[in-house]
Structure 1
Amino acid sequence: MRLTFGEDWSATVAGDSLHVTPRFDFAGQRVRLGEYRDVAEHERLLVDTFGSRDLLWDTPDELRFDRSERQLAAAQLQLPGESAPAEDCVRVPVTPAVRPGGLRADEARDFRLEATTVLCRTPEDTVLTCLRDLDVLDKPVEARIGIAPDVALLVQGGAFVGWSLTDPARYLTTGFTAPDSATPSQATRQLFAECLELATTPVFDDVFDREPAALNRLRAVDLALRHQREDRHRADALLALISNLVEDYADPPTEQKP
């Protein structure tokens, strides 16, 4: 199968999928796939590979391919800032089944891959599906290519139209750190769902506008994360974003001395 990405770039489904654990950097609202462990290693990866990458003031999705075999070597996928209405989320198809596979670039050159724009959530956020737009839901999904454990690309009409992450709470982490290998606690899963609500529109719009009900929700989640004793690594990953939102929107302004 050949997939098009954007207007004039394509890759073929070939080879093995990536044998890496997804890292869901919640503070950065992105999912990282790759063996790099810090900024320096990520920068070296960018030098040694080609494909789509983020640039200053520009954050498209990132797919990087090795120069020798043109095989997918790493990816970085941005979480959309807008959550779709529930009536649209229920329209996300559950078929076809995910089939693991790698990607081989049809030609070795850079391209730009627009980030997806809308987030579709399942009950309890067991799967996050990120789509190019809601028009994708008007037609069947042709294939789901599993490029890494629990990460799949959605294909429609031979084109990349979105991606999904299954069991996102499992992969919560901060920055480049590997996620905890233990199963997420139920408390973490519940707080993750609430944090996702607060971090995406339409609820985030209420936070931004400092609506009292939204700020009360924000403060309550912040407090719950700080007092959670179990699953601290994931709680800290959620807190990395939530504490910033509290500081920016929910803390009273500091009085300026004359």
Structure 2
Amino acid sequence: MTRKTMHLILGNDCAVTVHEPPLPLTPRFSLSGEYVTVSPHTDQPTHETLLSETFGSVDWLWSGDDEFRFAAADRGLRGVILTVPETLATDAESDRMRSWGRAPRVPGNVRAVDSRHFDARPTRVRWVSETGDQVVCAYESGAGGASQDVLRLRSAPCFDLVFVDRALSGWILDRPADFLVQEWEYAPSRPAPDGVADVLRDCLGTFGEATIGRMQDGEAAAPEVLRSLRARAPTCRRTPVATCCATSWAGSWRAGVTRLPAESRRAGRPSAAVPARPRFDLRHPRGTLYGSIGQA
């Protein structure tokens, strides 16, 4: 069985096959929004149009799902929106994800075997390479074995879907600093200014879930790290990475539930004690008017 005829699995149970060519779309990395977009839409109206013309997974209501949208006509992948997780990879996970970056690239896209909606939970951990030239996000923990079959599918310029033993296990974005945006606008046409890649590397490698928790707990040292990162890149103050470094991520919301202050967590108060702000928000670029209609 060749790679083009074997069935691969996306999300919970979406079977796909490999076909050509890759998507002719430039990736976009919203650091403040914590998601990567490889899709033809550039704003809310065009996103709504895309949802109406495609099927697949979508972040509707408070599901928190990643978005994989397939064309109704030929079932080929049209676009994705993928969450960049806050949790940093452990050493064992980093070794596994680093090995994906050494796997040979196979150009191609994926096509769904049948036309139906499915669930696609976001990746769980992230890793950034020592040089800052790769961001890798993975679903499951564990180092994995050498006997595993890794398919690194170059689905768009500088963007790979990684399948391990035929199941989607993560994804890779090369040269992430070159694709920084605020929301869904087009990525810059020129490479990032000097210093941006290094600051982005340290930003992604430093500000994980634990650091955000310390900021919310009021530790004075955490905001100072943000200020020092921004000071290291005076030539890129107007770029998204500088904007993100100038603000606190302490107000991040996940799946409609906000984080609790340290004293509340120690007291064992449930998250429901704090008014929830839905991640599904029409004012946010990842919000969608379709919601459950888009999944009906």
* CA positional deviation for 1:242: 3.2
Identity of aligned residues (%): 27
Q: Which runs of 5+ in 2 are unaligned?
A: 1-5, 253-296
| 2:26 counterpart of 1:21 | yes
* Mapping of residues 72-87 of structure 1, within 5 Å: 72-86=77-91
Match of 2:151 in 1: 143
SS in 2 for 1:135: coil
* CA positional deviation for 1:33: 0.7
* CA positional deviation for 1:239: 3.7
Match of 2:62 in 1: 57
* CA positional deviation for 1:21: 0.4
Residue type of the alignment partner of 2:131: E
Is the Cα–Cα contact under 8 Å of residues 222 and 246 in structure 1 kept in the other structure?
A: no
* CA positional deviation for 1:151: 0.9
**In 1, Cα distance between equivalents of 2:65 and 2:37:** 13
SS in 2 for 1:124: coil
**In 2, Cα distance between equivalents of 1:148 and 1:164:** 11
SS in 2 for 1:179: coil
Match of 2:229 in 1: 221
SS in 1 for 2:173: strand
Q: Does the C-alpha gap of structure 1 residues 132 and 88 become closer, same or farther in structure 2, counting only changes over 3 Å?
A: closer
Residue type of the alignment partner of 2:77: L
Residue type of the alignment partner of 1:83: L
Match of 1:200 in 2: 208
Is the Cα–Cα contact under 8 Å of residues 93 and 143 in structure 2 kept in the other structure?
A: no
Is the Cα–Cα contact under 8 Å of residues 19 and 108 in structure 2 kept in the other structure?
A: yes
Match of 1:134 in 2: 141
| 2:246 counterpart of 1:243 | yes
| Range that drifts further, 49-58 or 213-222 | 213-222
* CA positional deviation for 1:183: 1.7
Is the Cα–Cα contact under 8 Å of residues 23 and 155 in structure 2 kept in the other structure?
A: yes
Is the Cα–Cα contact under 8 Å of residues 59 and 67 in structure 2 kept in the other structure?
A: yes
| 2:223 counterpart of 1:209 | no
| 2:97 counterpart of 1:89 | no
* CA positional deviation for 1:50: 0.4
Is the Cα–Cα contact under 8 Å of residues 198 and 204 in structure 1 kept in the other structure?
A: no
Q: Does the C-alpha gap of structure 1 residues 216 and 155 become closer, same or farther in structure 2, counting only changes over 3 Å?
A: same
Residues 54-112 of structure 1: CA deviation (Å, up to 9, x unaligned): 11222211110110111111111110111113454134314431111011110011101
**In 1, Cα distance between equivalents of 2:250 and 2:71:** 41
**In 2, Cα distance between equivalents of 1:40 and 1:122:** 35
Q: Does the C-alpha gap of structure 1 residues 51 and 122 become closer, same or farther in structure 2, counting only changes over 3 Å?
A: same
| 2:120 counterpart of 1:120 | no
TM-score (norm 2): 0.75
RMSD: 2.2
| 2:189 counterpart of 1:186 | no
Instruction: Select the residue among 85, 105, 116 that pairs with 1:109.
Output: 116
**In 2, Cα distance between equivalents of 1:200 and 1:189:** 18
Q: Does the C-alpha gap of structure 1 residues 187 and 40 become closer, same or farther in structure 2, counting only changes over 3 Å?
A: same
**In 2, Cα distance between equivalents of 1:135 and 1:210:** 33
Q: Does the C-alpha gap of structure 1 residues 246 and 5 become closer, same or farther in structure 2, counting only changes over 3 Å?
A: closer
* CA positional deviation for 1:125: 2.1
Is the Cα–Cα contact under 8 Å of residues 158 and 174 in structure 2 kept in the other structure?
A: yes
**In 1, Cα distance between equivalents of 2:251 and 2:36:** 24
* CA positional deviation for 1:138: 3.9
| 2:160 counterpart of 1:157 | no
Q: Which runs of 5+ in 1 are unaligned?
A: 250-258
* CA positional deviation for 1:212: 2.3
TM-score (norm 1): 0.86
SS in 1 for 2:246: helix
**In 2, Cα distance between equivalents of 1:114 and 1:170:** 26
**In 2, Cα distance between equivalents of 1:203 and 1:141:** 35
Is the Cα–Cα contact under 8 Å of residues 198 and 218 in structure 1 kept in the other structure?
A: no
SS in 2 for 1:152: strand
SS in 1 for 2:160: strand
Instruction: Select the residue among 45, 50, 53 that pairs with 1:45.
Output: 50
Instruction: State the aligned residue count.
Output: 244
